A and B are shown apart, each in its own frame.
Chain A
Amino acid sequence: MARIERGAAMPEPGDENEKIDGGMSYKSSEDIDKELEDIIAQEDAVRLGQDIVEETFGDTEAEVHNLQERAEQVGVNEEEQEEIDSLTGNLSETIQKEQRGLIKEFVDVEPEVLDKRVKEAADFIKNNEGASVEDFNENFGLDEETGSLYFSLARTFGKNREKLVENDQEKAKKEQLGKVVGSLVENAKSTETEEGDEVEIGVEQEPLDIEVGNYVQWKSQGVDQFPKPKKVTAISEDKKYVFVENSHTGLPADEIEKVEKEEEATNTEEGSGNTDASAGDTAQNKSDYDGWKQYVEKEKQVINEAKRKEQAGVTAQVETIFAAARGPESARPEEIRSSPAGIEARTRRAQIFGQNRERHISRTSEQVGGVRFERLVRNRVHDMTSGFNSILASQGLRSLTQSLFKSENMEPAQIDADAAARLAGRFVRRSGGFFGFAKRMFGIDQPFRRVGTRILRAPLTAAYAVGSRVDDMVSAAATYVERPIAQFRSHRAQVQERAALRQLETGRSVDVERVQGFINKTREMQGRLDRVNTPVTERDRT
């Protein structure tokens, strides 16, 4: 047990890692690194906290300021202003309480004490410009860790406290000024707003000069909607809608026109409505009929004109839509883009694409963008490579390679199917997706979606067909090559076996083990050849 000398510092719990060597204490470089990392991490953490707190205060101040400005613009009365002020005061207090709560999360002291200390620290920082943490610690006799924590807290909260104080001072100044100039400013403001409001209200409510019993015509988009003027039966309370005879539908007041010749209107109506009463007066009837005919003709002309105009409008719109669809938006001239027709066209296009959004997205991102195409190619290449690999792994090709290279261990190398598929995908992507591929392969500048698909489908279909035949072709080829080799092998094996047997019979010096090995090998070969002779398609290809 180590002897502790009088007056020597007590070893602290954290000093276990420190070694005493000739009166010099040192820490390993790892320990120092770790400590440094801890310090940096803590500083980072404090900075992060400061940032978040400052952001919160900034946002809150801006919001409160905005609301107060709005209240001022609207022109709240004194009572309401007092209410807002008290609300603001409450908010400020609540936020301060939250502040203390937050600090309490990090520092284990009573909130009031902490508040006081932070205030002192903030004062110290304010009074000693450029004061460092060390100065701060020395002044308050704090250890390093506690000091740095207070220092950062004071920097964060102290600053905002200053702001609050400044706000209070400004408020007091404003109040003083307000008392002097307040009445003048208020007067000026109130007259301004009143005038402005008057104009607005004048625009909103147009006096309606139609009364119940008047004869009116409903003009919608410049076209008379009634063949004859109709009698007003009621007007809505807000004077926005007018009700006419034989109808329960309210008509918009701003589309209703009062017909001045009430008498004429009345006569016409009576003439056509009460035929029995004026049946005897044929001249009157005839003139009524002629008038009616003329009226109908006129009406027809008006309707036709309106139809023609509408048709022209629709044609123009369609033209604009096509024009807009022809080229990219940015390439269109500025006049078309900003013209009402252009805006209309854009809106219409947005509606169309909005309606078929799903389809549009799938077309652009998958078909047109070539994603689906790329996937198709990748899958196909993967399948083909896997198929080819299974052929490479077949017994026939393996034995072929073995006999060609004269080695039992030699096997044909497998192709990495995933890599091949990736490569194919990259090729398609580099070709510029569907359109780029079409352009490069077939020289089509702007393939239409369907035509493009069909054109590309042809070689793809061919590739499918070829791909599905590749297995059979290769296996057929393998079988074709395998047969003579197998025959040769079987012949060689027979010869060798016979030679061995003859050696045995003649009783010459024969290595029995070697002969036995020969026989075993021959049998093995025979079995292999049996397998080779069965068709590839029946074999289990894995």
Chain B
Amino acid sequence: MKQQLTKDIVNKKTKAFSKAVDKHLDAYRKKVEKIIRKAEARKVAELKSKLG
């Protein structure tokens, strides 16, 4: 429990945390963007088929 909280330690550990979160967010972003692109492509295809 007793641990000296220095700025260096806190900075190092929270930065690592923030980096890990960013990594997860990146993965999430990639997946969601893929879905969005798919939806866009589908929409365009639908409209094209409507136009003939």
> Which A positions have Cβ atoms within 8 angstroms of B?
38, 41-42, 44-46, 48-49, 52-53, 55-56, 59-60, 63-64, 67, 70-71, 74-77, 80, 83-84, 87-88, 90-91, 94-95, 98-99, 101-102, 105-109, 145-146, 149, 193-194, 197-198, 201
Contact = CB atoms under 8 A, between A and B. Distances in A.
Interface in B33-52: 33, 35-36, 38-40, 43-44, 47-48, 50-51
B17 A102 contact: yes
Given A56-B21, A80-B38, A98-B20, A107 B1 contact: yes
B7 A41 contact: yes
B18 A48 contact: no
B35 A76 contact: yes
Contacts of B16: 102
A102 B13 CA distance: 7
B17 A91 contact: no
The DSSP consensus for interface residues of chain A is helix
B8 to A, nearest CB: 8
A95 to B, nearest CB: 6
Interface residues of B, number: 37
A87 B31 contact: yes
B13 A74 contact: no
B18 A49 contact: no
Contacts of B1: 107-109, 145-146
A319 to B, nearest CB: 47
Which of B20, B36, B48 has the largest count of A CB atoms less than 10 A from its CB? B36
Contact of A145 (B2, B11, B24): B2
Contacts of B47: 194, 197-198, 201
26 contacts: A41-B6, A45-B5, A45-B6, A45-B7, A45-B9, A45-B11, A48-B10, A49-B10, A49-B11, A52-B11, A52-B15, A52-B18, A55-B18, A59-B22, A64-B28, A71-B35, A74-B43, A80-B38, A84-B32, A87-B32, A94-B24, A95-B21, A95-B24, A98-B20, A98-B24, A106-B5
Given A95-B21, A145-B2, A84 B7 contact: no
Given A55-B18, A84-B32, A108-B1, 5 more contacts: A53-B18, A63-B29, A80-B35, A106-B3, A106-B5
Query: Closest 6 CB pairs between A and B?
Result: A52-B14, A56-B18, A49-B10, A102-B17, A45-B10, A45-B5
